[in-house]
Amino acid sequence: MPKGLSLPKGRGPYATQACTICRAKKSKCDGVKPVCGSCAASGKDEKCSWGRDVGRKYTEAHFEALQKRADSLQTYVDRLEAMLTRCVCQNVSSHLRFRPQQPGEQSEKRKESEADALDSDEKITRELAVPTQHLKLDDRSGGLLHGIGAATITGSMNAAPRVQEVVQNPNASYVLQVEDINVSQSHPEIDWSRHLPPEIILERREHDKVLDLSFKFFTMWFFRVVPSLFLRDMYRALSVPRSEEAPRTPHYSPMLHNAILSVSLAFSDEPYLRDLKTRLCFATAAKSLHELHAYTKADLSTVQAMGFLSTFYSDIGERIPAELYAGMSSRLGMTLGLGLDATPWAAAGLIETDEIRWRNWTHWTLFCLDGTWALYLGWDLGGPSRRSTQMPFVDCDMDQNPWYYAPANIPPQPNYLTLAFFETSALYMIARQISELVHNSARRNATQVEKQIAKIDLELGNWKRQLPPQLDITLENRASSTPQRLMLHLTYWWCSLTLHRPFFNYPVQRIHHSDSEVDHAKLCIHAAENILELVETWSSLYTLRLAAPALQGAIFSAGTVFLLCVLQATVSLQNERGKLQAILAQVQTCTRYLHEMGGTWPSAARTGDMLQAILNDRLQPVIVRRLAHRGMQVFAATTLDREIPTAPGMDEGNETGLPAEAASLYVPEWDSQLDPARGWSEPPLDNFFEQIQNAPVAFGLGVQTSLASMGAAADFRTLTTSVHRNF
């Protein structure tokens, strides 16, 4: 050190507080804020802070870890926002409104006012409370699902397309080898039986004939299968070599193929194929494919396949499997979001544009099937309301495709399938109200029931008056009616009958606040007669071997009305036997129609047996007693398909009447009942109906259908009887 130069005395400037970085390093800090000299010199301007509560040491590795985590979280947020813009049905901008601003994106103030913060909280609350009408991608299949928690998107957005372009001509279709079809143009090399049970001997022509009949007379009702779309997807799936994976298609699957055949083979003329054991093989194959694929590849075809399996089991009388598959079909439709507005999903690229209408059609198919079930039951099924769903799409181009069945000798005509389906769905909206009224009428007072009946009856009338001319049935076009038009009008009269039958015993009364009068019995008889007339038209054009299975419900309901008329006719002393015999003949006609249908549908034969048993085993003894009491001749045995057991004292050789002394032979048995002076009263029928209701279900599915019956002194009672369910 040079002479004369001395060190400054004392220490340098004192910093009252060191920054967190210098404090952690235990190094000297000059206390300069906002960045001390030490941090500025080492390039740690952003990390220099002046907090007082430092209880741990922050190393360089700690800050790097925090930075990496922040970067990864930001990447995840960006990914979620990208998915949100494609999948959420709500307004995307409202979701992104709360996205944290990045440094440099906007020069807004960092702090909001207290009022703005409260508004922001309310908006977030509304976002969390919106209805869960969202979609998610299934983790395994990439398909769309709907339900709670689905606002979070899972699965890969880059999943394989639903329908892969694996065929050279995407518009190609499987061609049915039916009459007037050139075999060379029907893709004879296609592996059409790839997924069918190998143990069943089935030729392609018979296979195609059965499908053709099913499309014309069965699946057209409720639009359960769209033939053109099914055949198109069938070609796509089966034209791929066995060594390659078949594409996923919404209208065809191996499960659906087998399920349709399990039901539709009932139309075959070959006893071997129509046999229950053969059809069961196809149902078993469909269930096996369901267990293998349905849980990971659920689609519209899966919904429909389960519905066909339900039909198969209900037709053969297996109630539990029928209910299980019907429930799975309906519930899966809800899971897939059928009935919801799919337009935003199509706009986001999650589904095809055409699939909007496909989903809409499938939703209304389920709705109509549930409505038919409610008509059979006689009470409301409950379930989700579908009144806000858009009505079925009407495809005018598809409706112009010709419907033609050569044996009927009817010229080809537009099928109007989608238009008929639209009107059918509108009719079943009213049918649901009828079911609710019948179920809850006992809980309402007479005035409420009267008003509701008048309201529903008015809606039915308006529906009938506003029916498009293409679907109306008149005297001029009755002989050329297509099955879908006949079923539409049959369902209308069935609804009218179901609405008024529980009140069959009510006297003619004036409608509330109106000069009009309603005669429930007359309206029921009118509906039943129209049902028989339409069934006769079907029988003459196509035979009841080709009837849709749901037709048996309308026929049975008509038969119950005629049974009520039989009881009513035997009360009045002024009724002649010709009128009674005519009514019994109508009951016999209903039974005959059901037995003709039984050649195809076993459930129809059982329903016919049930109707016959009610008349022969239960009502016939009551009729005999009433007529014997009045000294009238008994002739009912000649009007029935099977012989009535001879009553005690009846002449064994006389099947058409009783001898004069026969009535006296009955007197000892009902001595106290037949003498008016002793307070005569007819044996009540309540036990009879209770026995039917509580008896073991020998015919298959036991379903409650309202049946009004009359006891002594015209005292009607609303009772129930069992009837088979089938769609």
pLDDT at 75: 83
Kindly report, residue by residue over 636-671, the tens digit of the pLDDT.
433 444 433 333 333 333 332 322 222 222 222 222
Strand partners, 716: 710
pLDDT on residue 252: 94
Q: What is the model's pLDDT at position 675?
A: 34
283 vs 279, 310, 478, CA distance in Å?
Answer: 7, 10, 37
The residue with greater pLDDT, 704 or 317, is 317
Local structure of residue 614 (DSSP, 8 states): I
Lowest mean pLDDT among 12-26, 180-194, 443-457, 698-712: 698-712
On the question of pLDDT at 514 being above 70, the answer is no
Spatial neighbors of 318 by CB under 8 A, at least 6 apart, are 700
- Characterize 444-481 residue by residue with b for buried, 16 or more Cβ atoms within 10 angstroms of its Cβ, and e for exposed: eeeeebbebbbebbebbeebeeebeeebebeeeebeeb
Mean pLDDT computed over every residue of the chain: 75
State the pLDDT at residue 664: 25
What sign has the CA pseudo-torsion 513, 519, 525, 526? Answer: negative
Spell out the residues 6+ positions from residue 359 whose beta carbon is closer than 8 angstroms to its own: 300, 336, 337, 338, 339, 342, 351
Q: For position 27, what pLDDT does the model report?
A: 84
Distances (CA, A) of 291 to 298, 335, 337, 420: 11, 18, 22, 35
Kindly list the distances between the CA atom of residue 433 and the CA atoms of 49, 51, 312, 452, 498, in Å, as whole numbers in the listed order: 72, 71, 28, 9, 11
Respond yes or no on whether the N-terminal peptide bond of residue 188 is cis (omega within 30° of 0): no
* pLDDT mean over 562-566: 89
61-75, 110-124, 365-379, range with the lowest pLDDT: 110-124
Amino acid, res. 38:
S
What is the pLDDT, as a whole number, of residue 155? 31
Torsion angle of C-alpha atoms 408, 410, 415, 416, degrees rounded to 10: -110
What's the pLDDT tens digit per position in 257-291?
A: 999 999 999 999 999 999 999 999 999 999 988 76
Residue 156 CA from chain centroid, whole number: 31
How do beta strands 402-403 and 144-146 pair? unpaired
pLDDT for the residue numbered 372: 86
Report residue 147: phi and psi, to 5°.
Answer: 150, -175
Tokens of 60: 């360089």
Q: What would the pLDDT profile of 289-302 be if each residue is shown by its tens digit?
A: 876 654 556 789 99
Q: Which residues partner with 145 through β-bridges?
A: 136
Element (H, E) at 610: helix 602-613
Tell me: the pLDDT tens digits for 349-361?
878 889 999 999 9
Report the alpha-carbon distance of residue 395 to residue 422 in Å, rounded: 10
Q: What's the rounded mean pLDDT across residues 549-575?
A: 84
* Element spanning 410, H or E: none
pTM score, whole prediction: 0.71
pLDDT value at position 264? 97
CA distance 427 to 412: 27
What percent of the chain shows pLDDT beyond 70? 66
- So what's the pLDDT on residue 601? 96
The band of 230, judged by pLDDT with boundaries at 50, 70 and 90, is very high
pLDDT value for 627: 73
At 695, phi and psi to the nearest 5? -70, 155
> What does the pLDDT read at residue 639?
41
Beta bridge partners of 518: 509
Host H or E run for residue 135: strand 135-137
| pLDDT at residue 60 in the model | 73
Residue 636, classed as helix, strand or coil, is helix
The residue-averaged pLDDT of 73-82 equals: 81
d(CA 256, CA 309): 9
Q: With pLDDT > 90 as the criterion, what percentage of the chain qualifies?
A: 39
Lowest mean pLDDT among 11-15, 264-268, 421-425: 11-15
CA angle 155, 161, 167 (to 5 degrees): 160
Partnered with residue 237 across adjacent β-strands are none
Distance CA 71, CA 64 (A): 11
What distance in Å separates the CA atoms of residue 280 and residue 275, rounded to the nearest whole number? 9
Distance CA 386, CA 45 (A): 63
- Report which residue type is found at 192: W
DSSP H/E element including 217: helix 204-217
CA distances from 535 to 118, 222, 473, 541, 546 (A): 68, 19, 13, 10, 12
Instruction: Give per-residue pLDDT as tens, 677-687.
Output: 333 334 444 44
Which two three-digit tokens encode residue 34? 């906002």
Please check the confidence at residue 503 and state whether its pLDDT lies above 90: no
The two structure tokens encoding residue 241: 């070599």
- Predicted pLDDT at 693: 30
The sign of the CA dihedral 26, 27, 32, 38 is negative
In which band, very low, low, confident or very high, does the pLDDT at 603 lie, cut at 50, 70 and 90?
Answer: very high
Among the listed residues 727, 726, 725, the one whose alpha carbon sits nearest the alpha carbon of residue 705: 725
| DSSP reduced 3-state for 719 | strand
Both tokens of 272, joined, read 């071997």
Give residue 468's pLDDT band: very low, low, confident or very high (50, 70, 90). very high
pLDDT at residue 70, as a whole number: 87
CA–CA distance, 299 with 277 (Å, rounded to integer): 28
Give residue 725's pLDDT band: very low, low, confident or very high (50, 70, 90). very low
Lowest mean pLDDT of 129-143, 389-403, 449-463, name the range.
129-143
Token pair belonging to 36:
């001390």
Q: How confident is the model at residue 699 (pLDDT cuts 50, 70, 90)?
A: very low
